[in-house]
Homo-oligomer: A and B are copies of this chain.
Amino acid sequence: MPSYTAPTRDTRFIINEMLDLESYAELPGFEAASADVTDAVINEGGKFCAEVLAPINQSGDQEGCTRHEDGSVTAPKGFKEAFDQFREAGWGTLSQPEEFGGQGMPHVLGFAFEEFVSSANQAFGMYPGLTNGAVSALLAKGSQEQKEKYLPKMISNEWTGTMNLTEPHCGTDLGMIRTKAEPQADGSYAITGTKIFISAGEHDMADNIIHLVLAKTPGAPDSTKGISLFVVPKFLVEEDGSIGERNGVVCGSIEHKMGIHGNATCVLNYDGAKGWLVGEENKGLAAMFIMMNAARLGVGIQGLSQAEVAYQNAVAYALDRRQGRALTGPAEPEQQADPIFVHPDVRRMLMDAKAFTEGMRALCLWGALQVDLSHKAATEEEREQADMLIGLLTPVIKGYGTDKGYEVATNMQQVFGGHGYIEEWGMSQFVRDARIAQIYEGTNGVQAMDLCGRKLAQKGGAAVQAFFKVVGEDIAEAKGDETLAPLAEAMEKALGQQQAATMWFMQNAMQNPNHLGAGAHHYMHIMGIVTLGWMWLRMAKAAQAALAAGTDDKAFYEAKLTTARYYMDRYLPDAGALRRKLETGSDSMMALGEEAFATAA
């Protein structure tokens, strides 16, 4: 069975040293997050995930969820008990507002914990993960009554939540949804329609499930401007908060998927189910986007999480498995063969994984801090800056993070040779589970268009200019330091590639928007490469500071500097190639018509 240890040492380094969380102590919620408290939460959270969630990951994959004839669904063995423990320990309350029973800690801690949960058991993590998404939407758009009715029990994880967007004929294009919401005399709506791909849509792990559902009211415009959001509980909730009668929503079937078998992906049939409008009529998409943005960051973390757990197992295998000899001569002549760890091509895959996971962890936690700062920073300007940066980076964290996470998981499976292909070893599951992250919450193609078609252009490019400015400042500062200068110089060139690509879009996309669409994927990857490089520069700076100050853990900080160098060597060159591709535009890409793609016999 594969193993998992939460990488808490690295998490603490990023939070305490790279982000210096204590320096934000004057902000609300941060005062409680002293390094002592942070460390304790991280360590306990990591332990919980490794000890309670990881052991039921593979069995959950093998068993999957079971739907019964009455439409009820049973999660795999051990999931309900683990969720009981999760609830009792209050893990779901970490970064939620105190007003509704949360602990009000910074999102930085919530994100750190989310990585551990997802590495240990991605399918399990989706139950509380989607609940968090639903909580975000209700917090932002729900009425006070709705908040009081649902949030305390969702935050405590007595109840879970879902997001209902997709229908059989539409997913990305939500303007086309057909689910209807008919107003009733009592102020509620009767919801009727079919939703598909509803993760955590039905299960036996909680007393109630609060569905957030996109639907159309009678006469609503036939576009995304005609979508409203409704809260539709599985069981109606009585005035006193107790569970009432069963609502008219039933799980019609569950999907047989490539992975995340432990999470029930449901077809939900709404047949006049009682629902209540969240926010204003026809403004559902905006509410949904709040939920979606939170979810997209969570999905980016899943890219990291599968890469991380796959990496840990690949390292163990590479040190254990003996085949062949080091190219420079036997490393362990007394043994019949050397561990495959000595082979450069194995090391390449491990270093690629190390450089990605540590860089991506830094990016996710930096992103979490921006989420916090966008709400809590002292000045309006700081809040706006943080909001702009996290808005810009959300599609990168989701799109680049999951593309690369899948690639790394696949490479870690490769380290195992033939054994990687056998389900027993668990590597296949990491790859199969990682695959979904590139698809859901908006495919990575949608992320690329969100980045290039929307975020780049917003406010006259203010967000990307702000990004260039902060990254440029860090590069300029690092150039003044002897150790950091070579890293900074490499980064300067990579940032230049992104700037050139941005300029090319500005000069060409107006004339032909297909030029933008044709390069969006490449741009997202350029930006991912640059952003992780920036994180490596920041980590190198923190490592350098620790070494200069004197430390007992010299090896840890020196490894950071070496891995930063590796990142610059082996990741940054792609930025230039991607820019060259992007600058070829859409001409050869869009020239061929439908008939040229038909298979001629």
- Judge whether B439 and A172 touch: CB under 8 Å: no
Complex Cα distance, B588 from A559, in Å, reads 10
Q: Which residues of B contact A566 (CB under 8 A)?
A: 588-589
Is A166 in the interface zone, CB < 8 Å from B?
A: yes
Query: 0/1 per residue, A249-261, Cβ < 8 Å to B?
Result: 0000001111100
Q: Which residues of B contact A569 (CB under 8 A)?
A: 581, 584, 588-589
Copies in the complex: 2
Which residue, of A421, A443, A577, A598, has the highest number of chain B Cβ atoms within 10 A?
A: A421
- Which A543-558 residues have C-beta < 8 A from chain B? 555-556
A interface majority secondary structure? helix
19 of the cross-chain contacts (CB-CB < 8 Å) are: A9-B599, A10-B600, A172-B323, A173-B323, A259-B421, A319-B594, A327-B453, A327-B513, A327-B514, A345-B518, A345-B521, A347-B590, A413-B435, A418-B440, A562-B591, A569-B584, A569-B589, A573-B578, A573-B581
What's the nearest-Cβ distance from chain B to residue A201, in Å?
13
- Judge whether A428 and B351 touch: CB under 8 Å: no
Q: Which of A122-130, A142-150, A336-344, A367-375 interfaces with chain B?
A: A336-344
Q: Which of A16-24, A26-34, A444-452 interfaces with chain B?
A: A444-452
Beyond A5-B599, A417-B172, A517-B327, whether A589 also contacts B348 by CB under 8 A is yes
Is A466 in the interface zone, CB < 8 Å from B?
A: no
- Judge whether B414 and A596 touch: CB under 8 Å: no
- Judge whether A556 and B601 touch: CB under 8 Å: no
Q: Which residues of B contact A440 (CB under 8 A)?
A: 418
Query: 0/1 per residue, A349-385, Cβ < 8 Å to B?
Result: 0110010000000000000000000000000000000
What's the nearest-Cβ distance from chain B to residue A329, in Å?
9
- Which A20-72 residues have C-beta < 8 A from chain B? 43, 46
- Judge whether B599 and A7 touch: CB under 8 Å: yes
Is A462 in the interface zone, CB < 8 Å from B?
A: no
Is A247 in the interface zone, CB < 8 Å from B?
A: no
- Judge whether A6 and B601 touch: CB under 8 Å: yes
Is A283 in the interface zone, CB < 8 Å from B?
A: no
- Judge whether B580 and A592 touch: CB under 8 Å: no
- Judge whether B257 and A171 touch: CB under 8 Å: no
- Judge whether A570 and B574 touch: CB under 8 Å: no
Q: A8-B600, A258-B422, A414-B444 are in contact. List 8 more A-B contacts (CB 8 A).
A: A6-B599, A6-B601, A172-B323, A328-B513, A344-B516, A351-B592, A414-B443, A569-B588
- Judge whether A256 and B423 touch: CB under 8 Å: yes
Closest-by-CB residue of B relative to A578 is B573
Closest-by-CB residue of B relative to A574 is B577
> CB < 8 Å: which of B337, B345, B559 contacts A449?
B345
Which residue, of A410, A512, A518, A589, has the highest number of chain B Cβ atoms within 10 A?
A: A589
- Which A417-446 residues have C-beta < 8 A from chain B? 417-418, 420-424, 428, 431-432, 435-436, 438-440, 443-445
What's the nearest-Cβ distance from chain B to residue A487, in Å?
11
Closest-by-CB residue of B relative to A420 is B439
Q: Which are the 6 A-B pairs with shortest beta-carbon distances?
A: A344-B517, A9-B600, A577-B577, A569-B584, A327-B513, A345-B445
Q: Which residues of B contact A581 (CB under 8 A)?
A: 569-570, 573
- Judge whether B573 and A171 touch: CB under 8 Å: no
Complex Cα distance, B166 from A588, in Å, reads 46
Complex Cα distance, B514 from A462, in Å, reads 46
- Judge whether A257 and B423 touch: CB under 8 Å: yes
Is A237 in the interface zone, CB < 8 Å from B?
A: no
Closest-by-CB residue of B relative to A343 is B517
Q: Which residues of B contact A435 (CB under 8 A)?
A: 410, 413, 421, 431
